[in-house]
Structures are given as C-alpha cells and as structure tokens.
Structure 1
C-alpha cells in the first residue's frame, strides 16, 4: 500500500478529506481535500519560489474530525499536521508559503511571527523526524 515519493520538502494532502465540517463534497461530488490539492497546484504553478515544495496526495490522514488536512514534512525536520482549511486559493497560498519557510529552516521550526495568517490556529500535531525528539 505504500508508494515511493520524493523525499524532499513536501505537503501531503489528504485527498479524501471532507469539504467542510458539515459537508462531505461539493455539488460535483469532489471532496475538499482533492479540491485543496488542486488549488495548491494552481498557486504553485504561478509562483516559481514554491517549486521546491512537492505536493503529494494520499487518502486519509486519520484526522477526520478536522477537514481539509495536510501534513508538512521533510527529512530531518519536525513535521506538522494542519487542518480545517477552506479548499481555496487563499488557503493553498498560506499552506505553501508556510511550507516554503519550513523548507528554508534548519529543523523545520518557523518563528510564529513569520507564519502566514492563514495557518495560524490550524495546527493539529507536530511529529518528530525519525531518530529525534524535541528538547
């Protein structure tokens, strides 16, 4: 069931996430996570500075109480799970802007003062890289 993907900085999007807390999908039958991944790719296509962030999709990140969930990760860096996004360009831009700052950091820690407004209050969990814990 595992599929190999790029090992660099990435945003893993749960493509089966709900559209919102009260809606599973839009009138066309599209899930919120799939729409968010689509919006992220559109934002990335127009921003060369975001090209180093891989957008990856997988079904279910097991954060089902929090719709439109993503996992930001990179080797040797702290990882983060965020959710409750609206699957639109503004959310996509905030996630990718944070992911860019994250990728530029040494350990995956971005100063709160530098966080894009759109990611504040959306963090669910942080995950240590393999072989490390935070001190």
Structure 2
C-alpha cells in the first residue's frame, strides 16, 4: 500500500488524474496525471534549478474534482495541493518553479510576488506539517 520515497522536497503527482473535468484520458488512452508526471520529469531533467526537488507519483490524491493535481511537500514545511492544470511543460515549469521557492523557504510560505503566474488560481488546500499548525 505504501512505497518508501526520499523524504525531502517533492512534487507528488496524482498519476491517475483526469485530463480535464470532461476527459479522463487522451487519444492514446493516457491519463492527464500521467502526462503531467512525464512533463514534470522532462522539465526537471532540463535544468539543475530543480535538482533539490523530487518528482514522485502515486495513484489518486482524492482531488478528483480538481484534475491534474499535485502535492508540494517538504519536511517541516507547510504543504500544498494544487490542481486544474493542463498536463504540459508550461504547467510543469510553473509547478517546479514554485516548488523550488517552497524548498528554499523557511516554513513553506512563498511570498506572493515569487509565485509563477502558472500556479495562481490552482491552490486547493494548505496542509500543516506533522506536529504543527500555521499561525
């Protein structure tokens, strides 16, 4: 049921997410979440800026009404679930840019001025780290 992964800054992609509210798979039968995971890995491989952020995937984050969902997390930091992305490299770059800022932050709070345009309007939930709540 659980698979161990590196416990560091990561973007966890819902590999079973829909492409859009009305489309589960693309013409090749591939889910939107799987396409987004592919795009994240391509963008990550193209720049050492993202070396400190892992791309991990798992089936179903239970954010089904918000297709192409990801969970941004890092030990001891506030985490976020974002969704409603188009599974392409533009979205992947925005997600990874935000994740790099998140990883570099003290507590997981990224100043709004540093948010990439591509993540604005995509936040679903903010999650406190284990043993803490935000103030």
Report the TM-score, using the length of structure 1 for normalisation. 0.99
Report SS of the residue matched to 1:80: strand
Q: 1:33, 1:52 → 2: CA distance?
A: 22
> Structure 2: which 5+ residue stretches go unaligned?
none
> Structure 1: which 5+ residue stretches go unaligned?
none
Q: 2:3, 2:43 → 1: CA distance?
A: 25
Report SS of the residue matched to 1:6: coil
Report SS of the residue matched to 2:125: strand
How far did residue 6 of structure 1 move?
A: 0.6
Aligned to 1:5: 5
Aligned to 1:43: 43
Q: 2:6, 2:102 → 1: CA distance?
A: 16
Q: Per-residue displacement from partner, 1:66-123 (whole Å, max 9, x unpaired)?
A: 0000000011000000000000000000000000000000100000111000000000
Report the number of matched residues: 135
Aligned to 1:103: 103
Report SS of the residue matched to 1:96: helix
How far did residue 51 of structure 1 move?
A: 1.2
Report the TM-score, using the length of structure 2 for normalisation. 0.99
How far did residue 26 of structure 1 move?
A: 0.3
Q: 2:47, 2:130 → 1: CA distance?
A: 31
Report SS of the residue matched to 2:26: coil
Q: For residues 74-89 of structure 1, what are the structure 2 equivalents within 5 Å?
A: 74-89=74-89
Q: 1:113, 1:14 → 2: CA distance?
A: 27
